[in-house]
Structure 1
């Protein structure tokens, strides 16, 4: 299990649209580093150590799975992405964004690239006032005193003014959703995406147990004979698995991601079964569907048929080698009809035909942004 760390960061800017600079930095931290738990008020402060425009300063609390070394690398990259140009001079200067690590858990870190707690934080009102606002009872690991007490002892006569403008805290996926179902046609990448999201957010993963179904290889050889037992066995297995997993969330993982939703049973059955078999199957499905917990978000990955066939070929499952494009098109049409008729399900359709989210971090982040902002 990945270890989650608690860190406090100081952000400052004195160039351009200062509020926008801070908000962009917060959003980048949420996307790259971890969940932003708290944001202080914005404080207007005079430039420290040089003549320049007034700064806007804040502190934020962030929970992250990155260690301290990874964290400082990420923050430097965020500064660079937002236009920060660093040079060799050690003199104070104007900057459009500055991000410093103040505290990291209760650790004391002394390396060439990072010193924590920040060595000058106890000298600066523009750091300590916003920090005390969101972490007054947190202890400074060297001073062994609460931040609120450290603030009282600070020797800094700078004038600090809190402004009325508020910044927006990005709501993390783990707060927005408890259960996400990732769906798509055969070969769309739903299992890969579900695993990636689970890994990043330390979620509970529910994967369809298709590999254990003895009827599946037989079905691809003789669809007419084995369609009904295959669909009935899938329905029973999906119902049991989802009922068991959704009934008891992991104590340390209150966020669940599955690579299927039970309604796919009906979609595939409609394609594979004869009319009379489908009517019987539908009666059984309706009874079960009432009992299943609906996902907070249903994500459908649309992939064009050509890419689906390529992906199926790449993964090399012997029983899938005879899947034809017409069969995939029928499945696609079934999903389309399902999506168009659902009114009570929170749906998000993402076209991944031109994306490689497994190997391209930018494409993966694009999908995560879609999920976050849905």
Structure 2
């Protein structure tokens, strides 16, 4: 049985849906590299060393059984899977995902492929600010200064803006932050299967659509223009009644609710069957 080590990582993106990319990257890091214990807020900062779109940056604490070299290999593979193309040039450029190892315990490493602590972290507010969120008193093993002191002394004057949407350390904390999730899609797409799996995996109350014989349906197939409105009103009333009953019956032992239908379905069908 190995011994878990603490690694502090910096992640950033300035292409595409930056917040979503960072969140997916955190989930993937937790899947292949260890357990993500803490995640900072997201901060928007200007691109560093080149002209490009602003970055979203964050830091996270990882408990890992991997050696520093093994961890680096895993992180580089995640970058590649997210569309990052590393070039031989040292020039900075835009990227879908950038992951750096800032600290690995108190170790000092300097090889051709890996330098720990990160050699330029003390110069970069976009690293120090989110790092101070999760590890303000961690001492740099070379400078013998904690994160707060390094941040105070940092000469980087870049504007850094904290973002409102939060990042989650794993899928369980993400789903636990929700109250109600509805899965919608075409008939046979797998709504019920997906909703059932989410309920099983993340301790949710499962709400499945009840189907009942509708008295207007046979007549609707005969004369659509005449029976479309009473048919849709009947479906709407049934769905509303079920939705109200199921969502009002709270289960204190469940984290949230997940359903394989949504009341919005009535509006979708109405747009098809009813006149404007």
TM-score (norm 1): 0.46
The answer to whether structure 1 residue 36 and structure 2 residue 36 are counterparts is yes
Equivalence for 1:131? 131
- C-alpha distance in structure 2 between counterparts of 1:141 and 1:20, whole Å: 33
Where does 1:111-260 land on structure 2 (aligned, <5 Å)?
Answer: 111-170=111-170
**For residues 164 and 40 of structure 2, what CA distance do their matches in structure 1 show?**
12
1:177 matched to which residue of 2? none
Distance 1:142 1:72 in 2: 21
Answer yes or no: is 1:51 the counterpart of 2:70: no
Structure 1 residues without counterparts, runs of 5 or longer:
173-297, 300-374
Note the C-alpha offset of 1:36.
0.4
Q: Does 1:4 align with 2:4?
A: yes
**Displacement of 1:146:** 1.0
1:89-100 map, 5 Å: 89-100=89-100
* Alpha carbons of structure 1 residues 17 and 171: separation in structure 2 relative to 1, 3 Å: closer
Distance (Å, rounded) in 1 between the aligned partners of 2:90 and 2:113: 14
Q: Higher relative contact order by CA 8 Å / sep ≥ 6: 1 or 2?
A: 2
1:186-239: per-residue Cα shift (whole Å, max 9, x none)? xxxxxxxxxxxxxxxxxxxxxxxxxxxxxxxxxxxxxxxxxxxxxxxxxxxxxx
Contact 2:27 / 2:171 at 8 angstroms: preserved in 1?
no
Aligned mates of 1:141, 1:9 — CA distance in 2:
16
Alpha-carbon distance between aligned partners in 2 of 1:47 and 1:83, rounded to the nearest angstrom: 18
**Aligned-pair distance for 1:171?**
5.8
Deviation string 1:48-91 (CA, Å, 9 cap, x unpaired) is 10110000000000000001010000000010111111111111
CA distance in 1, matches of 2:131, 2:120: 13
Name the one with the larger helix percent.
Answer: 1
Task: Kindly provide the CA deviation profile for residues 25-52 of structure 1, in whole angstroms up to 9, marking residues without a partner as x.
Answer: 1011000000000000000000110110
Q: What is the aligned partner in structure 2 of residue 87 from structure 1? A: 87
Q: How far did residue 143 of structure 1 move? A: 0.7
Give the distance between the partners of 2:126 and 2:150, measured in 1 at CA: 13
User: Structure 2: how far apart are the matches of 1:107 and 1:147?
Assistant: 16
Q: Distance in 2 between matches of 1:24 and 1:87?
A: 24
Q: Is the 8 A contact 2:123 2:156 kept in 1?
A: yes
Q: Hey, what does 2:61 align to over in structure 1?
A: 61
Q: Tell me what 1:27 maps to.
A: 27
Aligned with 1:139: secondary structure?
Answer: coil
Indicate the SS of the match to 2:26: helix
Q: C-alpha distance in 2, partners of 1:111/1:51? A: 30
Aligned to 2:205: none
Distance 1:80 1:15 in 2: 14
How much has 1:11 moved relative to structure 2? 0.3
Mapped to 2, the partners of 1:171 and 1:49 lie a distance apart of 34
| RMSD across aligned positions (CA) | 1.9
Q: For residues 308-341 of structure 1, what are the alpha-carbon distances to aligned partners after superposition, in whole Å with 9 as ceiling and x for unaligned? A: xxxxxxxxxxxxxxxxxxxxxxxxxxxxxxxxxx
Q: Give how far 1:20 is off.
A: 1.0
The offset of 1:149, in angstroms, is: 1.0
Q: State the 1:145 CA deviation.
A: 1.3
Q: Distance in 2 between matches of 1:41 and 1:155?
A: 22
In the other structure, the counterpart of 2:108 is 108
